Structure formats: structure tokens, C-alpha cells
Amino acid sequence: MRHALSFLLTAVLVAAPPPEEGASQRALHLQSFEQVWSTVAQRHPDPTLGGLDWQKVHDELKPKVEQAGSPEAVRAVLTDMLSRLKQSHFGILPAEVFTDLQSATKSSGSPGLDLRYLDGKALITEVQTGSPAAKAGVKPGWQLIKVSGKEVAPILQKLGARFQASTGLSLFLSRAVMSLLQGPVAETVEADFHDGTKVVHVTLGLAAPRGRVIALGNMPPMPFWVEHSALPSGVRYVRFSSWFEPETIAEAFRASLREGGPVKGFILDLRGNPGGIGGMAMGAAGWFTEQSGKKLGTMALRGTSLKFVVSPRPEPYLGPIAILVDGCTASTSEIFAGGMQDLKRARIFGSQSAGMALPSVFERLPNGDGFQYAIANYISDGGRSLEGHGVIPDESVIPTQRDLLAGRDPILDHALAWILRSAH
């Protein structure tokens, strides 16, 4: 139940030491094979594996691992084995890719900016007011091309090749590049940007991340903050970094809906929100529906399940709701957005979400490679599997570099326009 209620970035990365020096590489490959096979047998949410004879798969493929002449060949056998499950969120990552992914989860000092993988580039999408990045003159729309002498393009190419078929491509690439800009608070990093016309070299200070840093269970520490405001024409706007502190987020909803006059529309911005406490999605939905017994969906684990049943609040808001998502929207955020879409209580704007609604684990294998596996399955109340598919927006809107350089937010603009049309 704790796994069902607490999942962030849809994955827990389990740190493990590198392979033992001097150990037989063939023995390490065999140990890795057995670890992958037994983990699936013991932890897959469906004990029957959909009727797959897992022991037969083991006996068929073990000789191929014993005969494999390279790490790539072993990786191919393991990938073949996991493909028999016919599910996403099960895979093998080369050792160097797994190392890059691990570094992307480390919480540390930040220059106070955010970026996205857009049109094959790492583009700055937000610069926090008063942050080191803002003081250094960095602007949305700038392309990050180098950090501390390390080129960004090869990282995008390497991870892009591994995750090109994944709906989580944007999330993995964006977070991996962001990790280059992190380090101990009060230190600096050197970065090269292209501002649309020329290359700009900037020294960026690293400050404590915005908000409070929260750690929950085995998940990596994450900054938590909430903001809400009143937009023109009676539209309310709420945004928060992750699904933590239920009362803090509830107070933001309460303040937005109860203060400042009539509410003509509500915008919940979940762009970049990687998830958190899964059960909070039920409470949040209760602010916007009056019908009891409605569900956002069901999470199934080995031996148990969790139904995401909505509990309506007294006097909920029943007007138009827009939810903003992008490729870095994951986990609890997808469950909420997809569930509200199924209930026909919200219109979704932006780009396809990460398709990583399940709690999963990344761990290092004895041979150094990474292994990702899911520990639950989730189906929305409309019968959709969000895993590997993501939330598909009702209105697809993808910002361009030109939009960002001009200070425009086309996703928010489309949502506002829809609400204002609906209110008349």
C-alpha cells in the first residue's frame, strides 16, 4: 500500500556498488540474468504474468547468456526475456546510461531555472525571479549547449537513442541535462547558451532549491512549493512542484476558489510535476465534482489493489477546469489529469505526458547495467492504461523556441481562451 500511495518520478533508483573488481564477467552476467528473472517472478503485480510460463522462458534463455560473447549480447538476451511480458516499464539500461540517470535524481543546489527537451534541443523554459540564473541574465528560450566544458548534445543523443520509443523521453532527457546544472550550494557552474543569435558564456551560482526539500520513504529528496494567483477575467491558477503536504495544497485550492470574487474558470498547471503521494489525487478531485462514488482509476499491486475513489467536498467548484501537462508530467499528476479527463470534468492542454504512471524501481545489476521494473499496474476509470501511453491532451500545444524567446506561454494562452469562451 505504501508503494501505491507514494511514488515520485514513477521510480525509485536503488543505489548499488559497481561490479566487483576481478570477478568473472561471465559469472556477473549470469548473476544479472538470475536477478532479473527472479525479481519479475517475485514482484510483478500479476503473479500469473498473464499466463506466461516464466520458468520455461528462464530455461530457454539461460544457455544464451552462458554463450554470449559481449555485454551487448547479454543485454539483448535480457531485453528479449523482458519483452515476453509485453509491458512497458521493464527494461535493461547500459551501465553508462544508468549512471547518467542516477545522477539526474540527486538533489542539490540549483541556478533557479528549468528546461525541456524541445525540437531536439535543451531549451530554458523558466527562470525563477531573483534566482542566480535571473541575476546572470539567462532568459527563457535560450538553448543550453555546454556545462562545465561538457557538451549537452552527446548526452541528448545517447539517452535519446535508449528512450526514443518511450513516452518518457522528454522527462529522462530534461532531468539528465538539468543534473549537469546542479551541485553543492554556493558553488558555481560554467554554462554556454545560445540566445537565438549568438553563444553566451555565463557563470551560474548554485542556491538552495525553491521551497522546502521533502524526503519520503526511498524516494529522492525533492523541493516542494505551491503558488496560486488570480488571472484576468475571474480565472484562478494553481501550480505546485509535487504531490506532497495535502493540507498546503488544499489551502491553495481553498484560497483560490473562495477569495477574490466569482470564479469563471480554474487552471491547474501540472507541467513538470513528477508525482508524489498517489492518494492525494482523490482528495484534489473532490474539489471539482459533486458526484459520490466516482473513481479516477485503480492501482493493482501483488496481492492487493487501491481504488482511487473521489470524495466530493462541500460546495465543490463545478465550472470549467483546464489542466496543463507536458512530457515531464508523470505519476500522480497523470492519474489526476487522466482521471479528470475520463470524468469529463477537465479539458487537458499541452503535450502528451510521460506515460509513467506506475511506481517502478531502477536498480544496478551485478554486471553494472541498470534494470527497471514495475511493481504495480494502473487502469483509469475509463479503462485506459496510462503506462506507456500518457495523457493525451484535448488540445495539443507545444511551445517553440520563438514562443519562449518572446515570453509567450501558448499552453496557458490556449487554456485561458477556452475558459473565457466557456464562460460566455
Which pLDDT score is estimated for 423? 75
- Mean pLDDT value of segment 291-298: 91
The 10s digit of each residue's pLDDT in 265-289 is 999 999 999 998 888 999 999 999 9
Which pLDDT score is estimated for 13? 47
- Mean pLDDT value of segment 15-23: 49
Cβ–Cβ under 8 Å, residues 399 and 118: yes
Distance CA 281, CA 246 (A): 10
In total, the chain counts a number of residues equal to 424
Which pLDDT score is estimated for 65? 96
Distance CA 246, CA 56 (A): 46
Instruction: Report the percent of the chain where pLDDT is more than 90.
Output: 68
| Cell matching residue 264 | 469563471
DSSP state of 330: -
- Mean pLDDT value of segment 67-85: 93
Which pLDDT score is estimated for 9? 39
1 pLDDT tier (thresholds 50, 70, 90): very low
5 pLDDT tier (thresholds 50, 70, 90): very low
| Number of CB atoms found within 10 A of residue 201's CB | 9
Element (H, E) at 246: helix 246-258
Which pLDDT score is estimated for 102? 58
Which pLDDT score is estimated for 248? 96
Instruction: Give the E-state strand segments of 310-419 in sequence order.
Output: 321-325, 347-350, 360-364, 370-374, 376-380, 395-396
DSSP state of 21: T
Which pLDDT score is estimated for 215? 72
CB-count exposure of residue 131 (10 Å: 0-12, 13-18, 19+): buried
CATH 3.30.750 region(s) of the chain? Answer: 2-93
Cβ–Cβ under 8 Å, residues 268 and 236: no
10 pLDDT tier (thresholds 50, 70, 90): very low
- Mean pLDDT value of segment 18-47: 85
Superfamily of domain 212-357+376-422: 2-enoyl-CoA Hydratase; Chain A, domain 1 (3.90.226.10)
The 10s digit of each residue's pLDDT in 129-175 is 999 999 999 999 999 999 999 999 999 998 888 788 888 899 989 98
For the cut 60, the answer to whether the pLDDT of residue 6 exceeds it is no
CA angle 368, 154, 28 (to 5 degrees): 10
* Mean pLDDT taken over the chain: 89
In sequence order, what are the residues at sequence separation of 6 or more whose Cβ sits closer than 8 angstroms to the Cβ of residue 184? Answer: 108, 109, 206
Between 108 and 94, the more confident residue is: 94
| Number of CB atoms found within 10 A of residue 215's CB | 11
Distance CA 284, CA 415 (A): 20
CATH 3.90.226.10 region(s) of the chain? Answer: 212-357+376-422
Architecture of domain 108-205: Roll (2.30)
CATH 2.30.42.10 region(s) of the chain? Answer: 108-205
Nearest to 4 by CA among 391, 280, 364: 280
- Mean pLDDT value of segment 175-200: 95
15 pLDDT tier (thresholds 50, 70, 90): very low
| Cell matching residue 293 | 462514488
- SS3 state of residue 277: strand
The 10s digit of each residue's pLDDT in 313-340 is 999 999 999 999 999 999 999 999 999 9
For the cut 70, the answer to whether the pLDDT of residue 21 exceeds it is no
Which pLDDT score is estimated for 375? 87
Cβ–Cβ under 8 Å, residues 250 and 283: yes
219 pLDDT tier (thresholds 50, 70, 90): low
Architecture of domain 2-93: 2-Layer Sandwich (3.30)
- CA distances, 177 to each of 12, 115, 151, 156, 270 (Å): 19, 8, 10, 8, 20
